[in-house]
Amino acid sequence: MEMLKFLREITAVPGTSGNEMQVAEALREAFAPYCGEAAVDAMGSMTAVQRGTGKGPKIMLCAHLDEVSLMTTSVEKDGSVRFISLGVARQILPAQEVRLLTREGALFGVIGAKPPHLLGADERKKAYTVEELYIDTGLTPDEVRRLVPAGTPVQLTGETTALSGGLLSGKTMDDRACAAILLECAQEMARRQHDADIYYVCAAREEIDSLGAITSAYRIKPDMAVVLDVTHAPMEGSGNGETCPIDSTALAVGPNLHEGLTNLIRKQAERLRVKTVTEVCPGNTYTDAWEIQISREGVPCALMSLPLKYMHTTVETCDESVMHAQAHLLAEVICSIGEDWEGLLCC
């Protein structure tokens, strides 16, 4: 799979939380050639299915497709647009280029702020607050008010780029990079024999409430689930215990994560010589795994994470080789689960 090419395409597709239909349809088209069933539900989540022999379990593989974003709140007298942040790190907002997703199409804008020359001495020492920033579209105030009502979604922009050392950097790698891992796994599994029915889910609204994962898990009623998300990779200023090596696969352990399923992934990783690191999660993982585990009578969950630098910015950075390794690891795990799968859940 040409990971860079796919990520450039899929990260450009709008999919702000609560407005994921466009990216969900793009992912449905990507998965459809490899899956017998692929559909988008009413929540905006995409599910693609590969049927097995019928002897194995239903396995749900889940990544989320929504992206951190902004949302407009009002228009000032001069036509500048005020907004709130839905997960975007406020420190990166000044001078960002954005797309306002209006009903008449995408509208280009830039985020402006009072320049340093006009700031007081105390103001220059502080980071801008969101309230001090605004979006400038270049249109007249009347045109802006007509096109941009309060609540208009705003998407960050920026093309995914290859860095030295095999790293990829761009916007929305959280969590489109994990959706790409699922797609590469589906491509491999389309060529392989397996007992399990595999449900690839790209879930809506993880960044705000995980309702896409909740409704998908309720509908599918999986026997087990593996959730793919990102975690923090080391960067300047990060503390001990806060990050995972960028060249590794993070496997979470904690009260809401199934030990037997996690150990199966770890053993396959050891066999394949895939580097793993343990991520301790004593409580809420703040991923879709937290919600999927309590669907219906409960779902055994594992959480596999992709270490990522600069989360919730436009330069989220990860290791492409880890993405390929995780896709193959998932395929090997699925192929190792046969008709005796219930014993796995007793571990």
Residue 274: partners with Cβ closer than 8 Å, 6 or more residues away = 249, 268, 325, 326, 328, 329
pTM over 0.75: yes
CB-count exposure of residue 215 (10 Å: 0-12, 13-18, 19+):
buried
253-311 residue pLDDT tens? 999 999 999 999 999 999 999 999 999 999 899 999 999 999 999 999 999 999 999 99
3-67+171-346: CATH topology is: Aminopeptidase (3.40.630)
Q: How many residues does the chain have?
A: 347
Q: In the chain, what are the domain boundaries?
A: 3-67+171-346, 69-156
At CA 326, angle to CA 325 and CA 331, rounded to 5? 100
- Residue 128, pLDDT > 70, answer yes
Peptide bond just before 319 cis, omega within 30 deg: no
What's the token pair of residue 36? 């017998």
Average pLDDT over residues 321-343: 94
Cα separation of 347 and 340, whole Å? 13
Expressed in angstroms, the distance from the first to the final Cα of the chain is 35
**Where does 69-156 sit in CATH, by number?**
2.40.30.40
Amino acid letter at 115? P
181-191 residue pLDDT tens? 999 999 999 99
